[in-house]
Amino acid sequence: MTSHQPPLWRRAVAELLGTGLLVSIVVGSGIAAQQLSPNDVGLQLLQNSTATVLGLTVLILMLGPVSGAHLNPVISLVDWALGRRSGTGLTLPDLGTYVVAQTVGAIGGSVLANAMFEVGTSISVKDRATTGHLLGEVVATAGLVLLIFALAATKRGVLAAPAVGAYIGAAYWFTSSTSFANPAVTVGRIFSDTFAGIAPVSVPAFVVAQLLGAAVGLGLLLILFPSAARNTGDIVLPHSAEKTSA
């Protein structure tokens, strides 16, 4: 018996499904919050963040054994970058496939959420690209990258689901941007002109801020955990347990 990762097509399906469901959770709970508490933005954010924390935790537990449950291009990008140092992690074709699957899934997830709540799919007009919001995205993404890869570097990947859920839940509140921290999710949220939407004009700046945050997080990781590159095969959760006959 030998151990290896699931085939790329299966991992891509997991990333597409997971990112789609994540955006459905974010957008759908935002629509529900807007309908249930129309006059209280703070309560809307509480409802939205609570659903996201719980949903993200479940998605990582469910799909992590297949693809690692990256659900985020910056996590896949850092996994690839670290792997170049040790020959582990995602390959370049893996990276491209993951990013496409995540982005397509995110757009589909937004459309699905709109359909479930019978809200027409339309382009958001919510402009979010202020200086404070962009700084918030740098901070949120840097913290997320550092958390995930620090857990892997210290062989505590089993804690990723609750830890990532908790971090995103906190970052909803301590960052001014409400912690998108994910280029695919950012693109997906263009397609819902609701509480969780983002205007297309804001997206390029958000993605740049997220990439900058990923670089900051990677730099901090290599300072604090120099051996991190040797453990990139288990990001976000170990996903090499599939067995086949030798």
Report the CATH number at residue 198: 1.20.1080.10
Domain contains 246: no
pLDDT tens readout for residues 117-137: 999 999 999 999 999 999 999
Domain for residue 237, yes or no? no
Decide if 199 is inside a domain: yes
186 falls within a domain: yes
pLDDT band at 101 (very low <50, low <70, confident <90, very high): very high
Which pair of tokens denotes residue 243? 């067995």
* Residue 245 lies inside a defined structural domain of this protein: no
Q: Which of 79, 99, 92 is nearest to 12 (CA)?
A: 99
The answer as to whether 85 is a domain residue is yes
Full residue range of the structural domain in which residue 221 is found: 2-226
Q: For the chain, how many structural domains are there in total?
A: 1
Q: Which of 72, 90, 78, 95 is nearest to 18 (CA)?
A: 72
Q: What is the model's pLDDT at position 18?
A: 98
For the chain, give the mean pLDDT: 91
The answer to whether residue 164 sits within a structural domain is yes
Reported in sequence order, the residue ranges of 156-236 that DSSP labels E, i.e. its strands, are none
Q: How far apart are CA 34 and CA 53, in angstroms?
A: 18
Residue at 239 is within a domain: no
Question: What pTM, to 2 d.p., does this model score?
Answer: 0.92
Task: Tell me what percent of the residues of the chain surpass a pLDDT of 70.
Answer: 91
Nearest Cα to 189, choosing from 78, 52, 9, 43?
A: 52
Q: Check pLDDT > 90 for residue 234.
A: no
